[in-house]
Amino acid sequence: MVEGKVHKDTVLTGTVLRSHAGGYLVYQSKLNRELQCAARGRLKKERVSIFAGDIVQLEDVNWELSQAVISGCRPRKNSLSRPPLANVDQVVVVQAIHQPEWHPLWCDRFLIHFQLELPEASFILCFNKCDLANQDDIRSLRDVYESLGYKLHIASAYTGFGLEELKSELNGKFSIFAGPSGVGKSSLLNALKPGLNLKVGIMENEYGVGRHTTTATEIYRLPLNSENKPTWLADTPGFSIAELTHSQPHDIPLLFPEIRALADLCKFADCLHLVEQDCNVLKNLSSINKDRYLSYMTLVSESKERYLNELSQSSKKEEQVKFVGGKNEQDERAKKIPRLNKRYRAISRRSEIQQYSPGKIDIEVLENETSENEP
């Protein structure tokens, strides 16, 4: 193969590093080259989406101009809808301890979002800006999340503390940095790859609110020694609440390890662990961190509200008849009878038992107790 010529019969593969207007930046590993690529018109007609992280087939390579054509996309092992990424091994949820102030609900939102989108990926919690924190801050974070089985790294992009330990976790994997604006994702990446010089923001107000500096997702290769496997790290823009995934209400308990461990002994299989009678989680609330349970209550409440809104906007109409006396419609014993209007239906015994029981739990009480215990 001679550089500078177009080779129509040569098919290579590469990793998409970035999607931009009209094309893609693709890394070809064998020759350690970055190529500006366009997708074949056939792929556009077939509505084949190409994400950063995809392994693509390259044809018509012109090494002199560093150009090629994408003719196909390999099957993905997983994908993210927001940000659009493919083939992710590991998610690093980056939070700042201070500036901006760490908020447990935001932290839990990110964990839930990525557990829903990438259930098979591994997760790391990286708390940046430890140079602004004291030992009590760090100890309290470790007590909450390490006890639940999450990997937790304390780091500082400013001083370099904890970066070597973080590098060992990233080595040989495709990881992404995700978190709210201002927590130092780009600063950490600059520290991990000297000379990258990504744009970073400065906290310019007393509240420590972050500003968006990363506006698009791009993958970078880190200079780490791994056995024939490159180390990739993606920097992502900060998220807003609207962009995070909302699950079905009954999926959320499965994503909180401390609640999942207690849920098996609840009286009702569909218990949401909020107000139900004989709920094992409510009986053992003292064993659950208050901030974590407040996050759980908020996420379930939002999920229920979203679910009900979707139902109210649905065009699907309820059937006017129903089958009774059999296991399903195919059962010979099943009989078809008219379905009563909702206003005339009696509340089922199960629903009646699961109604709110005064004195079980009050989110305002929990919030007040939490605020009183804060230093």
* CATH code, 295: 1.10.40.50
Are residues 175 and 94 in contact, defined by beta-carbon separation less than 8 angstroms? no
* Whether residue 70 has pLDDT greater than 90: yes
* pLDDT band at residue 280 using 50, 70 and 90 as cut-offs: very high
Q: pLDDT tens digits for 148-177?
A: 999 999 999 999 999 999 999 999 999 999
Residue at 129: amino acid letter: K
Q: pLDDT tens digits for 204-262?
A: 544 444 444 555 678 999 887 666 688 999 988 765 555 566 678 888 999 999 999 99
In a domain, 80, yes or no: no
The first and second tokens of residue 127, run together, are 């708390």
Coil, helix or strand at residue 367: helix
Last residue of a domain, which of 51, 75, 99? 75
Q: Do 70 and 124 belong together in one domain? A: no
Q: Do 99 and 205 belong together in one domain? A: yes
pTM of the complete model: 0.77
Q: Following DSSP, what letter does each residue of 180-208 receive, concatenated?
A: -TTS-HHHHHHHHSTT---------STT-
Q: Do 254 and 153 belong together in one domain? A: no
Query: Which domain, by its residues, includes 41?
Result: 6-75
Residue at 66: amino acid letter: S
Classify residue 87 as left (phi > 0), alpha (psi -120 to 50) or beta: left
In a domain, 220, yes or no: yes
Q: Do 28 and 101 belong together in one domain? A: no
Q: Do 275 and 227 belong together in one domain? A: no
In a domain, 291, yes or no: yes
Q: Do 216 and 328 belong together in one domain? A: no
CA distance 290 to 126: 21
Q: pLDDT tens digits for 21-69?
A: 778 999 998 888 999 999 998 998 898 999 999 999 999 999 899 999 9
Contacts of 332 (CB under 8 A, 6+ apart): 326
Q: Do 90 and 232 belong together in one domain? A: yes
Q: Do 213 and 331 belong together in one domain? A: no
Are residues 219 and 17 in contact, defined by beta-carbon separation less than 8 angstroms? yes
pLDDT at 321: 73
User: Which has the higher per-residue pLDDT, 3 or 125?
Assistant: 125
CA distance 178 to 187: 13
Domain total in the chain: 3
Q: Do 237 and 258 belong together in one domain? A: no
Last residue of a domain, which of 175, 208, 243? 243
Partners of residue 73 on adjacent β-strands: 56
Q: Do 61 and 156 belong together in one domain? A: no
The first and second tokens of residue 137, run together, are 């801050």
Partners of residue 58 on adjacent β-strands: 12, 70
Q: Do 16 and 132 belong together in one domain? A: no
Partners of residue 268 on adjacent β-strands: none
Q: Do 265 and 285 belong together in one domain? A: yes
Domain CATH code at residue 215: 3.40.50.300
In a domain, 165, yes or no: yes
Looking at the chain, the whole-number percentage of residues with pLDDT higher than 90 is 48
Coil, helix or strand at residue 323: strand
Looking at the chain, the whole-number percentage of residues with pLDDT higher than 70 is 79
Q: Following DSSP, what letter does each residue of 54-100 receive, concatenated?
A: -EEEEEEEETTTTEEEEEEEPPPS-EETTTTEES--EEEEEEESTTT
Residue at 95: amino acid letter: Q
Coil, helix or strand at residue 297: helix
In a domain, 1, yes or no: no
Domain CATH code at residue 63: 2.40.50.140
